[in-house]
């Protein structure tokens, strides 16, 4: 007991908390990805009137674990002509920003690794990083499909980060804080989805685009680019991209919940149940999109952002500012 | 895309929601698939599996094949490898001793069944024959016939 | 009307020999024998008179090679066979690829199978055979390929250029529907040029036919066009019936019509699922398969197979339909009609789908003749050309149906035409079921060994992709002397380079999906 106290004194209580938090985050990330792969297959199955995985575990719930074991056990194949450092680095880099984003998300009133007063900036800054890894993967693979996919991804991320930010800004204007906890606390009475419906829509659509999901899944457009930027990846490296994709979905939905759906607020049930419930409901909507819509074309994608989402969110911002000033 | 026309945007959004309605309805509808090894569907009586020998009407212990070789000659893909018979003493007709079918090349066209002058061939209903080697699909219809007789 | 055009041809063409042909017997209205040197002039005449190039192939008569050109009109059936004798020792003929773009591929095909050289052809390389050949495969006597010709392989080795790059779409690619390979030259997301490379599924059915009796060739057509197996099965069977003069009982004809239309819907449903999948929507694929399975169940009860049917026989059918067939089919019609609004909501109404498909891959009506396109592809441009109406076979003349046509010839028109065609097929089935007469399902006394009289015959059916024609030359033996398959996907696909050029790769993929190509049919 004494040694523990010594260590705490040595490194500081904050650091220990952070360490435990990070381990917790890692667990959440992995479990979330496992749950989402299973959910994706189940949702797609039932939407297509089949049942999806069923054999491994009850309702096929252990299927993702079986898949993970398979992916880990697979040989790490490296194609001959890849740019080795970039090719190896990309799947590692893709994973870091999504981890960091978890640190600032308030899962419950007291369940947050660290409340930073610029929380939302941290998330946005790091989520922009993930496009770097996609670019590295595309370039490093030395494959034309990968390259086209990654170039698309860069253009798409730049285009959709702006409406993403502008939509959040409207909420920030109303709360006067960049801290996520403050934003959630200010929604105790009225959720921002009611006062900021347009910002919510813009944010959610841009968020779907940011996570490269259908109907905006151009970087990995299966029918055009085989698998886009991760065409040349297999085994665990592919699994890392996969993990990052699902974690990204979760983060976007978690932010939407935090900003617009009142975060952990809700009657009777404990806060984190509400938080995860709302988040996974949004995740379900994203899955639902994927199994309903076709993919937009590249020029349509960019037009949609530059010509519709950005003007609308700007207008929303101006109106919000004007009303607040009055 | 008419991005400046609010009516078109609303109409487009409505069309997307209608589409979502279709899939969510399917989501809550019962599944249409059948989990094959656990549940098996009834095979259509006309299903064309590999060919089998049919028992003679008068003498159910024997096949009615007269070893004329028509099926072997007319098979488009040479799937009927060998039809051998021998003439036993005291019998008028030849008796079939071996009928080798190479099921790997058979396309179930039914020409052999149709061309047989004594209707000694028919399609079996076996649809799930799984074997480990290619040779597993070369089988002797006479032996299959004997096996069926015992059961 | 046909008579008038024929008169005109007879009056205008000089230095040629006319042979009047009996349409009832041979399937074409007029046969014209042209000197090799006169081919371009004669062909130009047909081009000016708005004929489309139906088929172009070669027949080896040992002493000489005969080039056969089939011309036909979209407006009314007027099939003209133009033949030209080419020296077997040193076969050279002028190209017609400057008049008919489609001849590019036909001539390359003839070149690699017969060794005929076409003067003025811009790219005289092999079309199907990637490994090269030692002997020309369709020649009756072994003719070795000259050493310098063995290099004419079409394995495309692109030259690197500035500001562009090459992408091989296929043979292994999710959207090439099999093993089609398209070499695409791209500038960023835009396609500068696209060239299909064929032959990854080439099996030489035409040579197989020469080594088999007419009966033994029965399973093959199903392998040429697997989603529409019955339709091609019918093409083969009906051709032989026409050649030998075998009558077919009325009941058999009705059942043929019904099963063929069921098969056509199944084929279109396969496409209906695959096309949105090319655009990224994966769920309609499963819904379409659900419906398709219902058809396969019905057809399995009738034919015993689910995909590669071999059901029609010379003079009738393999067996009669079962007792439950009529009820089951009626139930299916009801079900299918209820399903169309769902597809409408899910696909046709979807704004993303409409924006992707509308105005992309526009095929101009005027170009159709140059390529000899047929089927829904040409109907989407507004040409109401359908073999079922133009040249009714089976009992299509006794049922009432319309030909759905499009206007713009873009991807969404092709979509609408196919969906309307499915509804039309349901209408045909409904009428045929109501009229289904009792009686025998097969003509008695069809000889087990068919030996058709000497002569040739062309017979076409409307497959789910367009005009599928069979040309058979008989030499009184029990095997065909030459059997030629005119397949719709081949001539439809030829238009792809021009539609893809200058477009985004995503649009090109959508366009390729809208063709409903079947690669085994293209490669044969």
- Write the ipTM: 0.85
Q: What is the pLDDT of residue A181?
A: 81
Q: Return the number of CB contacts < 8 Å for B and C.
A: 73
Comparison of pLDDT for C199 and C156, the residue scoring more = C199
Alpha carbon C511 to chain centroid distance? 18
Partners of A300 on chain C (C-beta within 8 Å) are 355-356
Same domain, B15 and B88: no
Alpha-carbon distance B114 to nearest alpha carbon in chain A (angstroms):
39
Q: Which residues of C make CB contacts under 8 Å with A?
A: 165-167, 173-175, 189, 276-283, 286-287, 290, 346, 350, 352-353, 355-356, 504-507, 509, 513
Residues 6+ apart with CB under 8 A from C67: C39, C56, C57, C58, C83, C84, C86, C93, C110, C116
Alpha-carbon distance B58 to nearest alpha carbon in chain C (angstroms):
25
Q: What angle do CA A276, A282, A287 make, to 5 degrees?
A: 120
pLDDT tens sequence across A165-184? 888 888 888 888 888 888 88
Residue B13: closest CA among chain A residues belongs to which residue? A201
Strands (E), C134-180: 165-169
pLDDT cut 70: percent of chain B above it: 98
Query: Measured in Å, how far apart are chain C's first and last C-alpha atoms?
Result: 35
Residue A50: closest CA among chain B residues belongs to which residue? B31
Same domain, B8 and B80: no
Q: Quick check: C417 and C376 in contact, CB under 8 A? A: yes
B48 and C CB contact within 8 Å: yes
In a domain, B37, yes or no: no
Q: Band of the pLDDT at C151, cuts 50, 70, 90?
A: low
Q: What is the pLDDT of residue C115?
A: 84
* Residue B23 pLDDT > 60: yes
Q: What is the CA radius of gyration of chain C?
A: 23
Q: Band of the pLDDT at C153, cuts 50, 70, 90?
A: low
DSSP for residue C215 = T
Instruction: Kindly give the residue spans of alpha helices, DSSP state H, lying in C125-249.
Output: 205-210, 220-224, 229-244
Q: What is the mean pLDDT of chain C?
A: 85
Alpha carbon C321 to chain centroid distance? 28
Identify the sign of the CA torsion A217, A223, A225, A229: positive
Q: Which chains touch C (3 or more CB pairs under 8 A)?
A: A, B
Same domain, B5 and B75: no
Best of B107, B117, B125 to substitute, by most chain C Cβ atoms within 10 angstroms, is B107
- Domain C213-499's class? mainly alpha
Cα–Cα distance measured from residue C96 to residue C431, given in angstroms and rounded to the nearest whole number: 44
Start-end of CATH 1.10.645.10 domains in chain C: 213-499
Q: What is the pLDDT of residue A27?
A: 85
CB-count burial class (<10 Å; 0-12, 13-18, 19+) for B135: exposed
What number is the average pLDDT over the span A49-77? Answer: 86
* Residue C155 pLDDT > 60: no
Determine, for residues A294 and C281 on separate chains, whether the beta-carbon distance falls below 8 Å: yes
Residue whose pair of structure tokens reads 């003349």 in the numeric block? C397
pLDDT tens sequence across A83-103? 888 888 888 888 777 777 877
Same domain, B14 and B63: no
Show the domain range for A140.
82-325
C342 and B CB contact within 8 Å: yes
In a domain, A174, yes or no: yes
In a domain, B102, yes or no: yes
Q: What is the pLDDT of residue C158?
A: 64
Partners of A47 on chain B (C-beta within 8 Å) are 23-24, 26-27
Q: Partners of B123 in the beta sheet?
A: B51
Determine, for residues C300 and B47 on separate chains, whether the beta-carbon distance falls below 8 Å: yes
Show the domain range for B117.
51-150
Cα–Cα distance measured from residue C495 to residue C500, given in angstroms and rounded to the nearest whole number: 9
Cα–Cα distance measured from residue C154 to residue C197, given in angstroms and rounded to the nearest whole number: 7
Q: What is the pLDDT of residue B94?
A: 76
pLDDT tens sequence across C278-301? 888 888 888 999 899 999 989 888
Q: Quick check: A59 and B31 in contact, CB under 8 A? A: no
In a domain, B143, yes or no: yes
Residues 6+ apart with CB under 8 A from A214: A289, A290, A293, A294, A295, C280, C281
Give me the residue from B19, B22, B33 closest to A51, CB to CB: B33
In a domain, B89, yes or no: yes
Determine, for residues A49 and B31 on separate chains, whether the beta-carbon distance falls below 8 Å: yes
Which bin fits B147, alpha (ψ -120 to 50), beta or left (φ > 0)?
alpha
User: In chain A, how many domains are there?
Assistant: 1
Give me the residue from C280, C290, C505 closest to A294, CB to CB: C280
Same domain, B77 and B137: yes
Write down the CATH superfamily of domain C2-153.
NADH:ubiquinone oxidoreductase Nqo5 subunit (3.30.460.80)
Q: What angle do CA B82, B88, B92 make, to 5 degrees?
A: 100
Cα–Cα distance measured from residue C53 to residue C79, given in angstroms and rounded to the nearest whole number: 10
What number is the average pLDDT over the span C159-175? Answer: 77
Q: What φ, ψ does residue C482 adopt, rounded to 5°? A: -150, 135
B11 and C CB contact within 8 Å: yes
Partners of B19 on chain A (C-beta within 8 Å) are 292-293
Determine, for residues B9 and A308 on separate chains, whether the beta-carbon distance falls below 8 Å: yes
Comparison of pLDDT for A34 and B6, the residue scoring more = A34
Determine, for residues B21 and C305 on separate chains, whether the beta-carbon distance falls below 8 Å: no
Same domain, B13 and B79: no
Q: What is the pLDDT of residue A267?
A: 81
Q: What is the largest CA-CA distance in chain A?
A: 64
Partners of A292 on chain C (C-beta within 8 Å) are 281, 283, 346
Identify the sign of the CA torsion C332, C337, C341, C343: positive
Reference C28, options C60, C51, C58; nearest CA is C51
Determine, for residues B27 and A47 on separate chains, whether the beta-carbon distance falls below 8 Å: yes
C310 and B CB contact within 8 Å: yes
| Most confident range, picked from A124-133, A227-236, C310-319 | C310-319
Alpha carbon C48 to chain centroid distance? 24
Beta strands C92-94 and C117-119 are parallel
Same domain, B70 and B113: yes
Alpha-carbon distance B13 to nearest alpha carbon in chain C (angstroms):
8
Long-range CB contacts (within 8 A, 24+) of A170-174: A170/A196, A170/A199, A170/A313, A170/A316, A170/A317, A170/A320, A171/A196, A171/A199, A171/A259, A171/A260, A172/A120, A173/A317, A173/A320, A173/A321, A173/A324, A174/A320, A174/A324
Q: What is the pLDDT of residue C160?
A: 67
User: In chain B, how many domains are there?
Assistant: 2
Start-end of CATH 3.30.460.80 domains in chain C: 2-153
Best of C359, C506, C513 to substitute, by most chain A Cβ atoms within 10 angstroms, is C506
pLDDT tens sequence across C47-105? 888 888 888 888 888 888 888 888 888 888 888 888 888 888 888 888 888 888 888 88
Residue C285: closest CA among chain A residues belongs to which residue? A48
Q: Look up the pTM and report it.
A: 0.89
pLDDT cut 70: percent of chain C above it: 98
Q: What is the pLDDT of residue C63?
A: 86
Q: Quick check: C205 and C222 in contact, CB under 8 A? A: no
Residue C97, preceding peptide bond in cis (omega within 30° of 0): no
Residue B6: closest CA among chain A residues belongs to which residue? A308
Q: What is the pLDDT of residue C120?
A: 83
pLDDT cut 70: percent of chain A above it: 97
Cα–Cα distance measured from residue C127 to residue C149, given in angstroms and rounded to the nearest whole number: 13
Same domain, B65 and B131: yes
Alpha-carbon distance B30 to nearest alpha carbon in chain C (angstroms):
13
Same domain, B78 and B26: no
Strands (E), A93-182: none
Best of A42, A48, A300 to substitute, by most chain B Cβ atoms within 10 angstroms, is A48
Report the side by side order of strands in the sheet with C30-34: C16-20, C30-34, C80-87, C64-72, C52-60
Partners of B24 on chain A (C-beta within 8 Å) are 47, 288
Determine, for residues C345 and B19 on separate chains, whether the beta-carbon distance falls below 8 Å: yes
Give me the residue from B26, B47, B76 closest to C216, CB to CB: B76
Q: Quick check: C369 and C363 in contact, CB under 8 A? A: no
* Residue B1 pLDDT > 70: no
B60 and C CB contact within 8 Å: no
Provide the 10 A C-beta neighbour count for residue A68: 18
Q: What φ, ψ does residue C168 adopt, rounded to 5°? A: -90, 105
Cα–Cα distance measured from residue C490 to residue C202, given in angstroms and rounded to the nearest whole number: 13
Cα–Cα distance measured from residue C425 to residue C421, given in angstroms and rounded to the nearest whole number: 6
Six-digit token string for C498:
């021009």
What number is the average pLDDT over the span C321-349? Answer: 88
Give me the residue from A43, A51, A288 closest to B31, CB to CB: A51
Q: Quick check: B61 and B55 in contact, CB under 8 A? A: yes
Q: Which helix (H) or strand (E) holds B52?
A: strand B51-53
């Amino acid at each position: 007991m004494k040694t523990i106290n010594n260590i705490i004194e040595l490194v500081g209580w904050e650091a220990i908390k952070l360490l435990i938090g990070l381990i917790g985050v890692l667990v959440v990330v992995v479990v979330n990805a496992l749950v989402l792969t299973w959910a994706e297959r189940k949702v797609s199955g039932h939407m297509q009137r089949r049942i999806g995985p069923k054999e491994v575990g009850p309702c096929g719930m252990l299927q993702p674990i079986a898949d993970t074991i398979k992916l880990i056990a697979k040989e790490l194949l490296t194609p001959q002509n890849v740019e080795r450092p970039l090719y190896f680095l990309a799947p590692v880099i893709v994973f870091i920003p999504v981890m960091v984003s978890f640190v600032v998300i308030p899962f419950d009133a007291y369940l947050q690794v660290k409340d930073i007063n610029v929380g939302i900036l941290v998330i946005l800054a790091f989520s922009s990083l993930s496009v770097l890894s996609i670019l590295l993967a595309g370039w490093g693979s030395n494959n034309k499909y990968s390259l086209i996919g990654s170039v698309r991804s860069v253009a798409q991320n730049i285009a959709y980060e702006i409406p993403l930010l502008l939509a959040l800004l409207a909420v920030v204007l109303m709360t006067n804080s960049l801290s996520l906890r403050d934003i959630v606390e200010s929604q105790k009475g009225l959720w921002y989805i009611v006062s900021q419906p347009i910002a919510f829509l813009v944010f959610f659509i841009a968020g779907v685009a940011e996570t490269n999901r259908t109907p905006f899944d151009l970087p990995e457009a299966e029918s055009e680019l085989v698998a886009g930027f991760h065409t040349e990846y297999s085994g665990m490296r592919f699994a890392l991209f996969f993990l990052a994709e699902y974690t990204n979905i979760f983060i976007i939905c978690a932010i939407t919940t935090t900003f617009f759906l009142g975060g952990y607020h809700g009657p009777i049930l404990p806060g984190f149940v509400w938080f995860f419930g709302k988040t996974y409901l949004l995740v379900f909507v994203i899955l639902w999109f994927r199994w309903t819509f076709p993919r937009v074309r590249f020029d349509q994608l960019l037009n949609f952002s530059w010509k519709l989402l950005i003007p609308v969110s700007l207008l929303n911002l101006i109106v919000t500012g004007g009303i607040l000033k009055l | 895309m008419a991005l400046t026309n609010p009516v078109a945007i609303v109409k487009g959004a409505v069309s997307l929601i209608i589409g979502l309605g279709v899939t969510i309805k399917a989501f809550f509808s019962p599944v249409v698939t059948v989990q094959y090894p656990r549940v098996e569907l009834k095979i259509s009586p006309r299903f064309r599996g590999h060919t089998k020998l049919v028992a003679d009407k008068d003498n159910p212990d024997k096949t009615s094949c007269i070893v004329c070789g028509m099926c072997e000659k007319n098979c488009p893909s040479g799937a009927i490898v060998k039809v051998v018979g021998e003439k036993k003493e005291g019998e008028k007709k030849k008796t079939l001793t071996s009928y080798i079918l190479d099921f790997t090349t058979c396309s179930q066209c039914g020409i052999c069944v149709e061309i047989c002058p004594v209707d000694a061939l028919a399609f079996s209903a076996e649809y799930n024959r799984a074997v480990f080697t290619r040779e597993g699909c070369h089988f002797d219809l006479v032996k299959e016939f004997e096996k069926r007789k015992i059961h | 009307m046909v008579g008038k055009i024929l008169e005109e041809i007879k009056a205008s063409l000089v230095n040629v020999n006319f042979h009047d042909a009996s349409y009832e017997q041979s399937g074409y209205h007029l046969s014209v024998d042209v000197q090799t040197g006169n081919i371009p002039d004669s062909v130009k005449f047909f081009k000016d008179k708005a004929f489309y190039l139906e088929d172009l192939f070669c027949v080896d008569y040992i002493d000489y090679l005969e080039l056969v050109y089939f011309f036909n009109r979209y407006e009314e059936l007027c099939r003209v066979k133009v033949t030209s004798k080419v020296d077997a020792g040193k076969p050279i003929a002028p190209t017609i690829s400057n008049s008919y773009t489609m001849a590019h591929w036909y001539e390359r095909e003839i070149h690699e199978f017969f060794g005929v050289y076409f003067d003025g052809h811009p790219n005289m390389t092999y079309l199907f055979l990637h490994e090269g050949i030692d002997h020309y495969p369709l020649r009756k006597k072994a003719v070795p390929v000259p050493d310098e010709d063995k290099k004419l392989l079409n394995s495309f080795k692109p030259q690197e250029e500035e500001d562009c790059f090459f992408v091989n779409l296929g043979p292994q690619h999710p959207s090439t529907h099999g093993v089609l390979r398209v070499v695409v030259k791209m500038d960023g997301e835009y396609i500068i040029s696209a060239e299909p490379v064929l032959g990854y599924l080439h099996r030489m059915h035409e040579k197989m036919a020469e080594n088999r009796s007419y009966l033994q060739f029965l399973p093959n057509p199903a392998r040429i066009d697997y989603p529409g197996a019955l339709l091609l099965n019918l093409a083969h069977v009906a051709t032989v019936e026409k050649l030998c003069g075998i009558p077919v009982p009325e009941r058999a004809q009705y059942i043929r019509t019904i099963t063929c239309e069921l098969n056509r819907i199944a084929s279109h449903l396969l496409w209906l699922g695959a096309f949105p999948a090319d655009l990224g929507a994966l769920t309609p694929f499963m819904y379409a398969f659900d419906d398709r399975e219902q058809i396969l169940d019905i057809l399995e009860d009738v034919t015993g197979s689910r995909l590669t049917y071999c059901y029609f026989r010379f003079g009738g059918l393999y067996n009669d339909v079962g007792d439950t067939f009529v009820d089951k089919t009626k139930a299916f019609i009801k079900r299918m009609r209820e399903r169309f609004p769902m597809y409408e909501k899910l696909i046709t109404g979807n704004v993303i789908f409409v924006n992707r498909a509308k105005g992309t891959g526009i095929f101009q009506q005027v170009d159709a003749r140059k390529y000899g396109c047929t089927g829904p592809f040409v109907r989407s441009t507004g040409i109401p050309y359908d073999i079922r109406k133009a040249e009714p076979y089976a009992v299509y003349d006794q049922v009432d149906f319309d030909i759905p046509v499009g206007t713009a010839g873009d991807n969404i028109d092709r979509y609408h035409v196919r969906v309307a065609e499915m509804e039309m097929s349901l209408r045909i089935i409904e009428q045929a079921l109501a009229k289904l007469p009792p009686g025998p399902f097969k003509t008695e006394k069809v000889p087990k060994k068919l030996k058709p009289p000497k002569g040739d015959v062309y017979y076409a059916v409307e497959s789910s992709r367009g005009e599928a024609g069979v040309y058979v030359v008989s030499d009184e033996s029990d095997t065909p002397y030459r059997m030629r398959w005119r397949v719709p996907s081949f001539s439809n696909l030829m238009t792809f380079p021009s539609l893809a050029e200058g477009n985004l790769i995503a649009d090109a993929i959508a366009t390729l999906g809208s063709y409903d190509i079947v690669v085994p049919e293209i490669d044969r």
